[in-house]
Amino acid sequence: MAAPAHADITSKMSASVQLTVDAAASQATRIGSSYSVSGSNVSITTEGGLGALTAGDAVGYTATDYSAPTDGSAFSFSEAFTEGDATPSNTTITSGVAPSLPAFGSVTTTAGGVAGDLAGSIDSSGALSLTAGGAGTSATGQFVTEITVK
């Protein structure tokens, strides 16, 4: 009679559910003020430029005063000004929420997810149950069985 075979068998089972809801986000970038002037064959009577920088205010500017030739000769003049964003007061965060955002020249805002009916569970037999949520959500279920024979 043959000798009995022996084996060391290990069985591992695990299940998991991961539910996520995207957070709302906003990114704001301040735009700076700029001023430029150029020309040829003109006389500047009052030089323009950016105004004084005052905390909490936009900078403003003063236009250039100039005079063109009166003898009919050619001239050119160009003046450009971009008003930058005012320096805002601090943004406060209350319970993870910014109740108001600064109005900057460049703002990108993403809405947060809506949990809705988002749900997931694992019953005593290891069966997974996932229920879809609203926009910006995900549900992932996983059941892993590992068998090792030595």
Residues 100 and 119 in one domain: no
Residues 36 and 101 in one domain: yes
Residue 46 confidence (pLDDT): 84
Residue 100 confidence (pLDDT): 73
- Classify residue 3: in a domain, yes or no: no
Residues 41 and 72 in one domain: yes
Residues 75 and 126 in one domain: no
Confidence of residue 97 (pLDDT cuts 50, 70, 90): low
Residue 129 confidence (pLDDT): 93
Query: Would you say residue 67 has pLDDT above 80?
Result: yes
Average pLDDT, the chain: 84
Residues 16 and 63 in one domain: no
Residues 41 and 100 in one domain: yes
Rounded-to-10 torsion of CA 125, 128, 131, 135:
160
- Classify residue 4: in a domain, yes or no: no
Residue 141 confidence (pLDDT): 93
- Classify residue 1: in a domain, yes or no: no
Residues 39 and 102 in one domain: yes
Residue 148 confidence (pLDDT): 92
- Classify residue 17: in a domain, yes or no: yes
Number of domains making up the chain: 2
| Domain extent for 119 | 9-24+111-149
